[in-house]
Each structure stands twice: as C-alpha cells, then as structure tokens.
Structure 1
Amino acid sequence: MRVALTDPVEPIAERILTEAGHEIARLSGSGPDALRALCRDADAVMVRQKLPDDLLDHAPRLLAAVRHGVGVDMIPVESCTAHGVLVANVPGSNADAVAEFLVAQMLAAARHVEAMHADHLANGWGPARSRSATATELRGKTLGILGVGDIGSRLGRIAALGFGMRVLGHRRHAAGLPEHIAYAALPDLFAESDYIALACPLTPETQGIVDAAMLARMKPTAWLLNVSRGPVVQEGPLVAALREGRIGGAALDVYWAQPLATDHPLRALPNVILSPHAAGLTMESVETMSRVSATDTVRILAGLRPLNFFNPEAWEASRARRRALGLPMPEEGNAA
C-alpha cells in the first residue's frame, strides 16, 4: 500500500513502513494542489503540514491520516471521520522538548541573551556587559500558563521546583491541576504574570483569545511566550503593544501565516525573539514522533486500531470503507 509523506521523516519511520511492505510517496512541489496530488493514490498520509480541507474529495483510497506530532489542527478531522478515515497522533511526544524550549525563551528574555550576543560581536565587551544592568532572575517571578496539558504541566513543574517561580494555570476545567500550579481566571493570569506561556491547542474557543483587551492587562515588563499556534494571538494588537512598549516583549515560535513573511513587522521589533516553529523539534522528540506515527500507520493499513486513536467514532465507517475498497478485513477480535 502507498504511504504519502508531506515532509521527510526519520529513517526509523521509513524502515517501519518498508519492512511492512509499503511504498513511500514523497511530496513534489508545494501548496494545496501538490498535497492533493500526493494523496490521490495514497492509502495513508503522515502529516507534517496543513492538509487541504477538501482532501477527501481527492483521495478515494485514503484510510489513515496520521499526525507526525501532537496537534491535529493540520488534519480535516470532521471530514476524515465522515469518510471513515482514521486519525491518529503522537500525544506527549514533544512535551519535554517544548517545555524546555519555553524555559529557554524565559531565560533568554530575562538575561538579554540575544541582545548581549549581538552587542558582544558588534560593539565589544563593555557594551555587551552593560546589558546585565537590567537582567533579572526567574526565582520569585510569576509564570502564567494557558493550557495545562502535558506541556503546561511539565513546564509548571520545572518552573516551580527548579526555579522557585510562582505558577498560575488556566484551562477549561480548574479541578485536577498539578499541586504546584494554582488555578487563575484568564484575566487574572494575564494581570499577575511576569511570563505568560501559551501552550493550548488551537480550537474555536482559543482562536484569537489573546486580544487587545487581554494584552492590556499585562504588566509593562511581562513577556508573552507562544509555542501553541499563531492564531491563538491576534497579531495586530500584539505588534501594537510591542511597538509602543506596553509589554516587555514576546518570544514567538508560531505565527498566523507560516513561514513568517520577510516584511512582517515583528521582524523589526527589538523586544521580540523569533523562532521557526521549532519548539517541539529535538533529535529525541522527532525520533519518537517518527517511530510511533509510522507504527500506527502500519496498524491502520493492516485493519487494526491505532494505538493513539483520535477519532474512534470513525471505526465502523472505516471498516465499511475497507470493504468498499475490497481490502482484507481482520477478525474483529484481532482488530483491537
């Protein structure tokens, strides 16, 4: 069977796929039309970039859309479910990587690492060293986390137990937060925090949740850290707040449109740290995402349930889709 890759994967994933007897198809070109062409004859797709919403109208054989990562906003899940296409992901695979990246963002902001480096190379020892006059420590500061899932929980533990920070958290359900994270209503979290980490999924409820009103509640020294998805933050109000010095700064790994345009106003602001959607990418996390996503792809193509089943309500429709395609059906007891 044919497995489409929207982007390269680690060798271990290719080995798992080929040892199971499957053919690998690679993306040629870019954009929605290239993705539709890639999946036209595919039985499964391993997803590392946004799929077109109408993909299932152009992929008659597709049985699986497996996310090489955690967030499934790159996959048209409702359409997949309606067509009997199973969706899987790799939950928790990059939680350590992203939590550590957020710590790196806080430390870079607190100690002016980027500016000090540039000053040291361009202007010498003295000007670079003078940056330390406004450096701060994390101990005693307040970290607010929007989205206390795997990433937020690990970040909170590192911040509270490793740096002695006060940690506030906000999520839909206040009960059951880790003991070192105190629940806060969202307006209070923005008003009281020195660092605000966005680690929530992109949903209709979270899109644009960080708006002008929420930014206005931030301390003039506070930093906004976004490793979730770009559309969680309204970029226009954020740029205005940064440009006018109404907040301390922003460390951004994700954007409304990616890659970040060469003329984007964020590039010209001195109180911004930019990275290319890389918070979750380490050698360890990418190996895990490749191995687990390939394993679940093989399971689905064999007619088995994936280990990380995102849309289990599509199971019966997926079996009907296999029958319509004339594919072998494992015994019900073996399909668990």
Structure 2
Amino acid sequence: MLVALTDPIDPAGEAILRAAGHDVELPAAGGLDALLARADAVVVRRKLPDDLSTRAPRLLAAVRQGVGVDMIPVEDCTAQGVLVANVPGANADSVAEFVIAQMLAVARHAEAMHAELLSLGWDKARSRSAQAFELRGRTLGIIGVGAIGTRLAEIASAGFRMRVLGYRRNAHAMPPGIPHADLDTIFAESDFIALACPLTPETKGLVSAARIARMKPSAWLLNLARGPVIDEGALLAALREGRIGGAALDVYDVQPLAPDHPLRALPNVILTPHAAGLSTEAVERMSTGAAEEVVRILAGQRPRSFINPEAWAASRARRAALGHSAGEADAA
C-alpha cells in the first residue's frame, strides 16, 4: 500500500514501512492533495484538510508523528472509518528537558551573557548576573499532567528541588507525588507556568485575561502546548505593560510566526519554532512509533494508541469496500 508522509520522518521509521512492503512518498509537484488522493495511510506532521476523507478516498489510517491530534480532522475520519492513532510519550523527555532549558534561560541569562561578552566586554556581561536567580525553591505550575507533565514534574522536583503544582481535569488521575491544584491557585502562586495540555474545545483560551491578571509580576508563562490555549491578545497586553515577567513560547496561533508579528518586538519573550519535541532521539522514537502504528492498521489490526476506537466498525466496511481483506483482528 502507499503511505504518504506530510513531511520527512526519521530513516528508521521509513525503513519499518518499507520492510512491511509499503511504498513511501513525500508530496511532489502536485502537492499534498495529489498524494493524499492515492494514499492508503498518512503520517502526519502538519495540519490536514478538514475534508480529508473527500480528498483521500482510499485512506485507512491517519497517524500523528507525535501526540497532539489537532492536526487531524478526527470527526471526519471517524465518520468515514479512517483510523486515527498517535505516539504518546515518545517526546516526553525532549519536551520536559526543553521546559527546563527555558526556565534556566530566564533564571541565568547564559545566552545574553554570551552575546554581551563578545560585543560589550567582560564587565558588562558579568553585571547581568545581578539579575540571576536559582530555580530551587521556586514554584512550577504544570497545566496538563500527562506523560510530558509527569516527566517535567520529576525533573523539576527531584533535580532542582522546585515546588511543583499540577492541574488536570480529573484530579483523581494525577500521578503519585504531584499535588493537584486548581487553575486559580496555579496562576496566583507559580513562578513559572508550563502549558502541556492538548488543544481541545475546553482548553482553547484557557489562559485568559482574567487568569493572566492573577499571575505574579515576575512570573513567566511557558507554552509547549498549542498557541490557541492562550488568549494571544491578552498575553500581548500583559507583556507590553510589564504585568508579568515574560513568556517563553514554542507554539503560536498561526505558524510559522509572521515576520511582522508583534511578539518579535518584545524584550520579555523567548521565541522558538515549535521545536521542543524535536531532539534526535525523540524524532526517531516518534517516527518508528508512527510507522509501527501504520503497519498495524494496514494489516487490519487495531493501533496501540487508538484515538477513535468508535470508528472500528466503519473501518471494517471501508476496507471491504476498497477490496482489502479484513485482517488478523477480525480473523481472530
């Protein structure tokens, strides 16, 4: 079968697909639409069209190389019997370590000192240390305590002796050892607030003007989730007026970040290009995990991380209509 890649994946993942007998293609001259029209599966690293099933009439699987499935029109896929899967936890270490790097950048100014040492001299660079502080004893609030949030809490508490507060909608599902706090408490008491939640109708705009107003004047907001989790206008106003310490943002409402975006002109921001989960190791894990899920689905098996299990019956009918065998799952 034909597996479409929206973007390149690690060679180890591509090797898994080819070893299973599948062809693998990236978009060519006709673009992604032309490739989707022929594809039996797609490995997803960018936003797919909302009418995916119409553009991809042969599609059996849409697998996210990563965690967030907001790039996939899950409702459309479910209605048409296209199975959706992801690779949870594959980039948890990478993203958690990136948050630590963001906090250290805020606390210790290493990059700024490097630039000033080269351009302004030893004494000017060294004077910046007067603004430095330790992470030990500071409070980190984590919104979204899944695989990423759990690993971040472990590093922050055990490694840096930070006080950690966590929030998830189901307080009873909190991992052991991470105190649950409500959102108002997290925004009021945290020195750093890390967003690690999925983008859903419930989390869109979660970081509202009212919640930003509860933050300490020195507190930093760290967004590793999705841009729309934050009310961007409210954040811009707070940053311009100096009502919070700053924001370290890896994701945005519209990506790539526009060259004239007002965030680029602010001194109290750290901007990165949606790269928190893209360490060498994480990319290999995500690629191989996504490839393995594609192989399972195309063989007629259930994926391990099944986003829309309610589509299973429709997927059986879709396979039959396309002339594919039911696969091992039904045979069992």
> TM-score range with shorter-chain normalisation?
over 0.9
Partner of 1:27: 27
Instruction: State the Cα deviation string for residues 261-312 of structure 1 (Å, max 9, x = none).
Output: 1111111111111111010111111111111111111111111112222111
The TM-score normalised by the length of structure 1 is 0.96
CA distance in 2, matches of 1:77, 1:332: 22
Extract structure 1 runs of 4+ deviating beyond 4 A: 331-335
Matched, 1:17 2:17: yes
Residue of 147, 160, 164 corresponding to 1:163: 160
Residue of 287, 300, 303 corresponding to 1:303: 300
Instruction: State the Cα deviation string for residues 222-246 of structure 1 (Å, max 9, x = none).
Output: 0000001011011111111111111
1:53-202 matches, cutoff 5 A: 53-202=50-199
* Structure 1 unmatched ranges of 5 or more: none
Change over 3 Å in CA distance of 1:331–1:19 after alignment to 2: closer
Instruction: State the Cα deviation string for residues 68-104 of structure 1 (Å, max 9, x = none).
Output: 1111111001110110001111011001111111011
How many residues get paired? 332
CA distance in 2, matches of 1:178, 1:304: 31
Change over 3 Å in CA distance of 1:332–1:114 after alignment to 2: closer
- Asked if structure 2 preserves the Cα contact closer than 8 Å seen for 1:5 and 1:45, the reply is yes
1:27, CA displacement in angstroms?
Answer: 1.5
CA distance in 2, matches of 1:112, 1:26: 41
Q: Secondary structure at the match of 1:93?
A: coil
Change over 3 Å in CA distance of 1:187–1:331 after alignment to 2: closer
- Asked if structure 2 preserves the Cα contact closer than 8 Å seen for 1:167 and 1:180, the reply is no
- Letter of the aligned partner of 2:163 in structure 1? R
1:117, CA displacement in angstroms?
Answer: 2.3
Residue of 231, 235, 253 corresponding to 1:234: 231
- Letter of the aligned partner of 1:22 in structure 2? H
Partner of 1:8: 8
Matched, 1:255 2:252: yes
Moved more, 19-28 or 101-110: 19-28
Matched, 1:292 2:278: no
CA distance in 2, matches of 1:69, 1:334: 30
1:310-329 matches, cutoff 5 A: 310-329=307-326
- Letter of the aligned partner of 2:243 in structure 1? R
* Structure 2 unmatched ranges of 5 or more: none
Instruction: State the Cα deviation string for residues 180-208 of structure 1 (Å, max 9, x = none).
Output: 32211101110100000000000001011
1:121, CA displacement in angstroms?
Answer: 2.1
- Asked if structure 2 preserves the Cα contact closer than 8 Å seen for 1:36 and 1:52, the reply is no
The TM-score normalised by the length of structure 2 is 0.97
- Letter of the aligned partner of 1:269 in structure 2? L
Change over 3 Å in CA distance of 1:164–1:15 after alignment to 2: same
CA distance in 2, matches of 1:111, 1:332: 54
- Asked if structure 2 preserves the Cα contact closer than 8 Å seen for 1:50 and 1:74, the reply is yes
Instruction: State the Cα deviation string for residues 10-44 of structure 1 (Å, max 9, x = none).
Output: 11111111122211121236xxx933222011000
Change over 3 Å in CA distance of 1:178–1:309 after alignment to 2: closer
- Asked if structure 1 preserves the Cα contact closer than 8 Å seen for 2:300 and 2:328, the reply is no
CA distance in 2, matches of 1:20, 1:179: 40
Moved more, 307-316 or 213-222: 307-316
1:331, CA displacement in angstroms?
Answer: 4.7
- Asked if structure 2 preserves the Cα contact closer than 8 Å seen for 1:116 and 1:131, the reply is yes
CA distance in 1, matches of 2:124, 2:170: 48
Q: Secondary structure at the match of 1:4?
A: strand
Q: Secondary structure at the match of 1:7?
A: coil
| Aligned-residue identity in percent | 68
CA distance in 2, matches of 1:222, 1:150: 24
- Letter of the aligned partner of 1:323 in structure 2? A
Q: Secondary structure at the match of 1:16?
A: helix
1:275-286 matches, cutoff 5 A: 275-286=272-283
